[in-house]
Copies of this chain bind each other. A is one copy, B any other.
Amino acid sequence: MHGISTRLAEFASGEIAPSKRTCEIIRLSLADWAACGLAGVNEPVAKITRDMILAERGAGASVVFGGGVAPARAAALVNGATSHALDFDDTHFLHIGHPSVVIFPAVLAIAQERNLPGAQMMEAAALGFEASARIGAWLGRGHYEAGFHQTATAGSFGATLACGRLIGLTAVQMQHALGICATRASGLKSQFGTMGKPYNAGLAASNAIETVTLAALGFTSRLDGLECVQGFGDTHAGIADMSAFDDLGEVWVTESVSHKFHACCHGTHAALEALHLAEAGMRTDDVARVDIRTNPRWARVCNIAVATTGLEAKFSYRMTTAMALLGRVTGRADQFEDGFCVQADAMDMAAKVHVEFVGHIAETAAEVIVTDVHGRAHHAEFDLASPLPIAALEQRLDVKLSNLVGAGTAAKLAEAAREMQNAASVDELAALLAG
């Protein structure tokens, strides 16, 4: 029986046929990713990594967010960190990670450096998303709970396969690249709340370019670095869930990538979506009480009872609910202000919200009951794991991107992503990253 490194390498170097929805998701995620990066260019972690890389003045064709070019290995580091700086990019729950912020910086940097057509980059990106999610699932929740940041760890391997395909590695070279990645990949969850979190995305993207560049030059490592005794999985609390690869290539789990529409903790999103459904058309003054039920995982993540700052509001079911009911756009980072939290109407509304944690509700789901002043209960549920139809998703992303980077830029990004499939190069999108 083949090991998983062989299986993944053969998959990544052979014919692949991403599903239609997968291709649509990649297109939408590309524009979403670019917008997150543009909106993040002035974040400290973005400036700092950019300063480091541009000071090295390497010769390269890969654009970095905010302007300037660098060698692919360096640009990927900056672009990963920059696009994850606001933590507003997409998520894959099976992966337990953020695919866009690792895969796109890596494949875009290589596509520019080698002047590859857009369709080739998009195909490699689909592969990278899919492989990251599968490898993340193989490492499993045990890996995440032990303290590893799947975005960076599984992401490094997924991006390695994507970049390996893009530069035409053979299956065996691809295995060596995975082997190199086994000794290079890293990323800890204890960095959350610091610049280390977005940096983790950048280092994963950069790792991938390093591993495939070395493999292409003849670097040989283990052929089974992921799964061997004391390989990456073994040493990093991986649970080695082989079912993660059962239908690889047939079913595309990339279809269930989830996008963020609210500029606050992901744990609050299902409740905000359910709230939106439950309160549809209700007057603010008519709301008497809101009950939120969700998974106990979030009890110590985003349940600040009395949020008094914009930052605290992002981690508060009560305050995000108050914002939504009072007509604030939770999709805009600038709406999470300190001032709002101490307004009388906000505090009054927040006090009407009751949160309960219930084991049988999925981590990705929430139930909301809005009771009006007439005693009528309006009930709705939402599960982030249930995919939105593409048209609905596209509409919501249009609104998100307009809020994030302005309608003009949002339209250009969406257009560049749409045209990518037929573009002779990736230059049009890349030029937009310079801002």
| Residues of chain A at the chain B interface (Cβ within 8 Å) | 44-45, 48-49, 51-52, 55-60, 71, 73-74, 146-149, 152, 179-180, 182-191, 194-196, 199-200, 203, 210, 213-214, 217-222, 225, 228-232, 234-237
Contact = CB atoms under 8 A, between A and B. Distances in A.
A56 B109 CA distance: 13
Contacts of A225: 188, 190-191, 196
23 contacts: A44-B220, A45-B219, A48-B218, A48-B219, A49-B219, A52-B217, A56-B59, A58-B59, A148-B235, A182-B190, A182-B191, A183-B186, A183-B196, A183-B199, A183-B200, A183-B203, A188-B230, A188-B231, A190-B229, A190-B231, A190-B235, A195-B221, A199-B214
Contacts of A234: 147
A419 to B, nearest CB: 30
Contacts of A52: 73, 210, 213-214, 217
Contacts of A55: 71
A183 B182 CA distance: 15
Contacts of A232: 188
Contact of A183 (B49, B184, B187, B229): B187
A232 B191 CA distance: 10
Given A182-B191, A195-B219, 19 more contacts: A52-B210, A56-B71, A56-B73, A56-B74, A58-B59, A179-B191, A179-B194, A182-B188, A183-B186, A183-B188, A188-B231, A190-B225, A194-B220, A194-B221, A196-B221, A196-B225, A199-B214, A235-B236, A235-B237
| Copies held by the complex | 2
Contact of A57 (B49, B59, B179, B210): B59
A222 B193 CA distance: 9
A206 to B, nearest CB: 10
B49 A214 contact: yes
Contacts of A45: 219
Contacts of A231: 147, 188, 190
Contacts of A44: 218-220
A185 B186 contact: yes
Contact of A180 (B184, B196, B220): B196
A219 B186 CA distance: 18
Contacts of A199: 180, 183, 214, 219, 221
A123 to B, nearest CB: 25
Contacts of A191: 179, 182-183, 221-222, 225
Contacts of A56: 58-60, 71, 73-74
A374 B184 CA distance: 57
B196 A222 contact: yes
A142 B55 CA distance: 40
A73 B58 CA distance: 12
A186 B186 contact: yes
Per CB-CB distance, the 3 closest pairs between chain A and chain B, nearest first, are A147-B230, A57-B59, A58-B58
A194 to B, nearest CB: 5
Contacts of A188: 182-183, 225, 230-232, 235
Given A179-B194, A183-B199, A188-B232, A48 B147 contact: no
A73 B71 CA distance: 13
A225 B193 CA distance: 12
B196 A230 contact: no
Contacts of A184: 186, 203
A217 B51 contact: yes
A230 B183 CA distance: 20
A220 B196 CA distance: 8
B190 A230 contact: yes
A71 B58 contact: yes
Nearest to A187: B183
A58 B49 CA distance: 16
A232 B228 CA distance: 22
